[in-house]
Amino acid sequence: MGKLLRVDLSRDVISEERPDKDVLLKFVGGRGLGAKVIFDEVDPLSDPLGKESRLVFATGPLTGTKAPTSGRFTASFKSPLTGLLTDCNCGGFFGPWIKRAGYDLIVIQGKADLPSYVVVSDQGCEINDARDLWGKKTGEVDRLLEKRHRGKVACIGPAGENGALIANVMVNGRRALGRGGIGAVMGSKKLKALVVSGSREVQVPVELEGVIQEATSLIKKKISAGWGLRSKGTVSVLPLLSKKGILPVRNYQRSRSDKVDLTLHAMEEMVSGRQGCYMCPIACGHKITLPDGKRIKSPEFETLWSLGVNLDSSDAESTARAGALCDEYGLDTISTGMTLSAAVELEEKGKIKEGLRWDDPQRVLDLVPKIARREGIGKYLAEGSRRLCQMHDDPEASMSVKGLELPAYDPRGAQGMGLAYATSNRGGCHMKAYIVLSELRSSSGGFTTEDKAELVMKAQDLSAFEDSLVLCRFVQPVLGAEILARLYAAATGTVLGIEGLMETGGRIYNHERLFNIRAGCSEDTLPKRLTKEEIGSGPAQGQTVRLEEMIAEYYRLRGWTASGLIPDRTLRRYGVR
């Protein structure tokens, strides 16, 4: 669309800018463009919750087109949970409406004196009083503002208002900008919500239509072959991980669960419909009807794991309710579940005395609002697992990397994922190099470290590019680098090819890395439980993550030093300053 919208909450000023064409060429959009804004405008040592912080909502060249899964956008910021340059990727309909309002990205800076919300449209933009919305849960805010402005809404709940470092932002009432404490950043700015609306057409070249048809056809063939994502949603991966013995339970103290079948059966009994994002032929989202007749969105796989299986519970109904509560109060479900599991472990060790125990779904339901409001033990749980465990002199009980809680894949049985966790720019994240399924399905399984450094690096660079287009991660293995490069070329008129695509992804990854180094983080490690404690039973029995066998080769392939720093020659290669 050729325009950037800048909102300065401190000065109550809204202005428009033209993005630099060279920057667009080198950073594409989405994650790449967001990283560039944060890199250029934010001091790496600054307070993530300070007035000088930035929050960047960015679309990509495919957002709002008819390309499959092109309803996505990203939000970039310095994380208050980790201190790192972080981005979140979200589906739904919000991204295309940023485009329809006439903008490619929205940069929010400063702090409002009073609770506020921002309305962005092609008819004008304004900062409005949100005092009547402050304290309300996300679902109510979404309904009120969508009706008031006929737009798409991204908002925080009480967790973000109260500065919970694991607070998220809910989008369209059912999708989330989940990780890294982005909700706390909005809360610190007294920004309750961002509303976007508009009617502008997203113009696309004729050449793009043919590539879109080809991409859509490939995805539909995958669906017709019985792709579990469409029929069962993201929870379809749960039994595979348990069967392979890499499904973490009890804060990674175990790697299998005998409650998976019960959990899935109960979930299947409650499914009552399907829902998808803008221009998505997969429609992996499901709706469920609870026994009391209440209809909510089905919990995603990570939510079903973190708030259920991880806490050694098979009560699918309570887990679904806990996930819905997290959405209403504005909490990241992965970090919430993992912080709770760390707390139970601390209780077992006698380091806290709150009556916490495994398989206690009612207590989880009771604690979610307390975390959001910072009441009682919720005050400490709201800080995330790393700070909680440091506070009780047991930092190794936090299953996190760089302060971000780990997701549902035990890397002791998937060595490449161990390297991906350790080197992820946003910390303990599976989405920056989602290679676990290919590892498990390979002839050697996930136990070998051979060639994993190259596999991880290529996946990270490809993912950085795809997150900048912006498309859904689920289509990456279906379309591959070639189709992604062709989609980009058809949309922008710039031919990169596969080599140029990977070079662009590497440029984005190195910019993120350098920001984090300047912020004081250059160490790529894992919790000692993963590198020192063997899995006790199952197919992955006896395994640990052999990180040292992979990290040196990874640094060499990246062109970094033996300690993970970026030398001048690599900075020059990517044009990093």
pLDDT tens digit at each of 577 positions of the chain: 999 999 999 999 999 999 999 999 999 999 999 999 999 999 999 999 999 999 999 999 999 999 999 999 999 999 999 999 999 999 999 999 999 999 999 999 999 999 999 999 999 999 999 999 999 999 999 999 999 999 999 999 999 999 999 999 999 989 999 999 999 999 999 999 999 999 999 988 999 999 999 999 999 999 988 898 988 899 989 999 999 999 999 999 999 999 999 999 999 999 999 889 999 999 999 999 999 999 999 999 999 999 999 999 999 999 999 999 999 999 999 999 999 999 999 999 999 999 999 999 999 999 999 999 999 999 999 999 999 999 999 999 999 999 999 999 999 999 999 999 999 999 999 999 999 999 988 877 799 999 999 999 999 999 999 999 999 999 999 999 999 999 999 999 999 999 999 999 999 999 999 999 999 998 999 999 999 999 999 999 999 999 999 999 999 999 999 999 999 999 999 998 7
Cβ(493)–Cβ(466) under 8 Å?
no
Residue 219 resides in a domain: no
Any idea what the CATH number is for the domain that residue 186 is in? 3.60.9.10
415 and 389 both lie in a single domain: no
Any idea what the CATH number is for the domain that residue 237 is in? 1.10.569.10
306 and 336 both lie in a single domain: yes
127 and 249 both lie in a single domain: no
The answer to whether the Cα torsion of 178, 104, 92, 228 is positive or negative is negative
Torsion of CA 239, 242, 244, 246, to 10 degrees: 130
428 and 477 both lie in a single domain: yes
Residue 473 resides in a domain: yes
435 and 294 both lie in a single domain: no
42 and 139 both lie in a single domain: yes
Residues β-bridged to residue 17 = 4
Residue 406 resides in a domain: no
Residue 59 resides in a domain: yes
Count the domains in the chain: 3
54 and 25 both lie in a single domain: yes
50 and 111 both lie in a single domain: yes
Last residue of a domain, one of 197, 220, 247: 197
Taking the C-alpha atoms of residue 551 and residue 205, their distance in angstroms, rounded to an integer, is 43
Taking the C-alpha atoms of residue 257 and residue 207, their distance in angstroms, rounded to an integer, is 50
| Alpha-carbon separation of residue 178 from 184, 405, 450 (angstroms) | 11, 12, 33
Residue 209 resides in a domain: no
18 and 145 both lie in a single domain: yes
Coil/strand/helix, residue 575: coil
First to last CA, the chain: 27
The answer to whether the Cα torsion of 182, 187, 190, 191 is positive or negative is positive
Last residue of a domain, one of 398, 423, 450: 398
Residue 227 resides in a domain: no
Residue 211 resides in a domain: no
343 and 462 both lie in a single domain: no
| Alpha-carbon separation of residue 222 from 214, 215, 217, 475 (angstroms) | 13, 11, 9, 10
Q: Is 350 left (phi over 0), alpha (psi -120 to 50) or beta?
A: left
Token pair for residue 16?
A: 């428009």
Cβ(408)–Cβ(338) under 8 Å?
no
What is the span of the domain harbouring residue 244? Answer: 233-398
Residue 527 resides in a domain: yes
Last residue of a domain, one of 197, 223, 255: 197
392 and 438 both lie in a single domain: no
365 and 431 both lie in a single domain: no
